[in-house]
Structure 1
Amino acid sequence: MKATTMLALAGTAIAADMPSITMKGSKFFYPNGTQFFMKGVAYQREYTGGSHSTRATGSSKQYTDPLSDKKTCERDIPLLAELGTNTIRTYAIDPDANHDDCMKLLQQHNIYVVSDLSEPQTSINRDQPAWNLHLYERYTKVIDAMSKYPNVIGFFAGNEVSNNATNTPASAYVKAAVRDSKAYIKKNSKRWMGVGYAANDDKAIRAEMADYFNCGNSDESIDFWGYNIYSWCGTNTMKGSGYSDQVDFFKDYNVPVFFAEYGCNEPSGAEGRIFQETEALYSKEMTDVFSGGIVYMFHQEANDYGLVKIDGDKASKMKNFGALKKQVLKADPKGVSQNDYKPSGKARSCPAIGKAWKAASGLPPSPDKDLCDCMMKSLECTIDSDLDEKSYGELFGNICAHNNPACAGIAAKPELGNYGAYGMCKPDQQLAYVLDSYYKKNGKTAKACAWKGAKLQSASSVSGECQKRIDAAEKTNKDVASATSAISPSKTGSGDKDNAAIRGAPATGLAIGAAALAGAVFAL
């Protein structure tokens, strides 16, 4: 994918540059070598219609970009500064909007940004996970939109996608998003910006989650780990809240760890919060390991976690606003200088596959528009241009039932780390591939392309590099029919088009069906 002009201008600020944050080992640093600790607040109104990590695709935008309205930012950013905030987290920004005014105001108040890359309708769905061109285009557009601002620390590739032991396969797709987002930044940006993940605090998988996203090649692993934790409620202690256990667990982690969300509202709701945990978070007992945290959340909503009530254009500070302000302003964490700091942490080992964990180290392939386009040119049986997307699921289900080898190219088996070559293409391209594969495996008879919504066409001439890459992908897809264990990485071409992430998938238990593929379409 080509970098946009915006990303090419990364590092050119719209105002006097704030010093950009960098990372060394498990710490964040200012350019002068002083350690940076987040004193953060989550800054975004709640999504309409529910959790963004389980939303299906709809037709209307279900979020409001918090950094695209100058008037709103002029009202809210001084309040954030009053709290002692030096970092905000945004959950969904519109990459087509103009953020100059709000980002300038944030710079004027010395506030950094960490932003999620997804949005409610374009995110990795824990129930029907995918990592494909549609998602990749969204993620890279957000990177393009935000990279020119020096006060952007980095991005989250996912938020609580795998949130219990039943949906851990989805983490493979998020880690693939981490890998490809990091590669995009490395190729196109002039400065470091991190890509991390924000996890919930589920006892059954929290260790496996932290290990999985940190294990393996550094090009694939997270740059920082965000932890959404609400275990310290009211008056508590390091031991009683479990904070001491977290310090012990992460003490040898090799990338920065911080609370991506915190601020329990039990037992008395938002107004009962005293933020005793904030004092603990910036104490010596925690700052050797944790790099601060982000309080959830600025806006008072139905979930009752707010610091500020919004009534029309008016913002009113709540009681717990003062409680947080008191704790943050007195917090004075003592860090280490960058020159004196000698990182000692090591990457974790990948978790074993078992009852509680079903995502292997092998990842889904990187989205590759050129390969998908090459494949589409080679098809003799394809989808009719009039076919409604709502019909995709039925067609997928009819053809791919009973582990049909025609579907091997889009199959997935996360517990083995095996994936077909074309699972990263857009849904219409995947369906076209399946139709053509079925047609060719059934003798190219007219009946084999007689599905409702399918049509015969004359394949375009494909040669050279394009054919070479299709042949390599087909070799991978042939392995799908017989593999019963992890398959060694293969390549779909040469040079910059290499895709070593593509792997085969076993014929038994292909993760394809009417519900899964329909979900993949509508979760984009």
Structure 2
Amino acid sequence: MWVFLVFAGAPFLVGLFPVTAAIPTISAIHSKFFDSNGNQFFIKGVIYQPGGSASLTDPLINTAQCALDAALMSDLGVNTISVYYAGSGDDHTGCMSAFEDAGIYVMVGLASPLTGINRTSPAWTTSQLSSFSAVMDNFASFDNTLGFFVGNEVVNDMTVSDVAPYVKAAALDLKSYRDSKGYRQIPVGYSGAAYRKWIYIIPRSNTIPLYFEAIIDTKKFF
């Protein structure tokens, strides 16, 4: 972006210098995303997690690597990355800035392989809430933080549907924590699995999404 100054109605070039405009923030209204300019936002994203969902590698601490990857992703039209794990005690400023400069938003997983909700032995504890909250604290100030996940495909088939109330409780608690800290309305949600057998049990239904949809306020992100 270049700045031109105008005096007395006539354009007068006093200097050319780059200006970095803040990236619009994103909010969720029901099942849709909108930016702070009022435009609907459509995700064109990739998973950005070396080692996959079970990895304890934080991909947002190597600024040089992030800058390289952000430039390549931008060339491909990517506007969002999803990160399964990020350390609450690490400095993510460099990587978040690199992705912001490339016009790329970040979905941040609040859980780790060590703190996530266990589908076979579900629980939602104050220790987990503290861990999830610390990650939120780390990323809440970045304008290109698109949203937070409290879980990723935890309910992945009908045999573990009993874990759903724990995931829902986590989302409710993290929304409450976000509001208590005065953070902007960053979407908080859950990354669900597309389990095809549900379609055959109740045709054309979305039973799990409908269950998660009842999350207190009108902003729902799943």
TM band (smaller chain): 0.7 to 0.9
After superposition, what is the alpha-carbon deviation per residue over 1:376-407, rounded to whole angstroms, capped at 9, x for unaligned?
xxxxxxxxxxxxxxxxxxxxxxxxxxxxxxxx
1:105 aligns with 2:98: yes
Distance 1:113 1:120 in 2: 19
Normalised by the length of structure 1, the TM-score is: 0.36
1:18 aligns with 2:23: yes
Instruction: Quote how far apart the aligned CAs of 1:24 are.
Output: 2.9
Matched ranges for 1:295-374 at <5 A: none
Partner of 1:188: 181
1:43 aligns with 2:48: yes
1:158 aligns with 2:151: yes
Which residue identity does 1:148 align to in structure 2?
A: S
Q: Percent identity?
A: 38
Residues 26 and 165 of structure 1: CA distance in aligned 2, closer, same or farther (over 3 Å) = closer
Partner of 1:210: 209
Distance 1:26 1:179 in 2: 17
1:88 aligns with 2:86: no
Partner of 2:6: none
Distance 2:67 2:35 in 1: 26
Instruction: Quote how far apart the aligned CAs of 1:18 are.
Output: 1.4
Equivalent of 2:122 in 119, 129, 137? 129
Say if 1:196 and 1:222, in contact at 8 Å, map to a contact too.
Answer: no
Distance 1:168 1:42 in 2: 25
Partner of 2:8: none
Where do 5+ consecutive residues of structure 1 fail to align?
A: 1-14, 53-61, 226-524
Structure number with higher strand proportion? 2
Partner of 2:13: none
Residues 223 and 122 of structure 1: CA distance in aligned 2, closer, same or farther (over 3 Å) = same
Aligned residue pairs, count: 197
Say if 2:29 and 2:220, in contact at 8 Å, map to a contact too.
Answer: no
Instruction: Quote how far apart the aligned CAs of 1:179 are.
Output: 0.4
Normalised by the length of structure 2, the TM-score is: 0.83
Say if 2:29 and 2:219, in contact at 8 Å, map to a contact too.
Answer: no
Say if 2:31 and 2:220, in contact at 8 Å, map to a contact too.
Answer: no
Determine helix, strand or coil for the equivalent of 1:197.
strand
Partner of 1:224: 221
Q: Which has the larger radius of gyration?
A: 1
Distance 2:42 2:68 in 1: 25
Instruction: Quote how far apart the aligned CAs of 1:204 are.
Output: 3.2
Say if 2:140 and 2:183, in contact at 8 Å, map to a contact too.
Answer: no
Equivalent of 1:29 in 34, 40, 43? 34
Which residue identity does 2:128 align to in structure 1?
A: L
RCO greater where, 1 or 2, for CA within 8 Å and sep 6 or more?
2
Instruction: Quote how far apart the aligned CAs of 1:75 are.
Output: 2.2
Instruction: Quote how far apart the aligned CAs of 1:122 are.
Output: 1.1
Which residue identity does 1:211 align to in structure 2?
A: L
Instruction: Quote how far apart the aligned CAs of 1:26 are.
Output: 3.2
Matched ranges for 1:67-466 at <5 A: 67-205=60-198, 207-215=206-214, 217-219=215-217, 223-225=220-222
Say if 1:195 and 1:224, in contact at 8 Å, map to a contact too.
Answer: yes
Which residue identity does 1:90 align to in structure 2?
A: V
